[in-house]
Amino acid sequence: MKYFKDINNRVHAIEEGFEYLLPVGCVEITKDEVDSITNPPKTPEEILVEFVTKIQDRLDTFARTRSYDGILSACTYATSTNPRFASDGQYCMQVRDATWAKGYEVLNAVQSGQRGIPTWEEFEAELPVLQWPM
pLDDT digits (tens, 9 = 90+) for 19-64: 999 999 999 999 999 998 998 888 878 888 999 999 999 999 999 9
- DSSP annotation of 5: E
The domains of the chain are located at: 2-38, 44-126
State what percent of residues in the chain have pLDDT above 90: 82
Map residue 6 onto helix, strand or coil: coil
22 half-sphere exposure, CB direction, 13 A CA radius: 22
Name the pTM for this structure: 0.73
**Sheet strand arrangement including 27-29:** 11-14, 2-5, 27-29
Q: Is residue 2's pLDDT more than 90? A: yes
Q: How far apart are CA 69 and CA 63, in angstroms?
A: 7
Angle, helices 83-111 vs 44-64, to 10°: value is 170
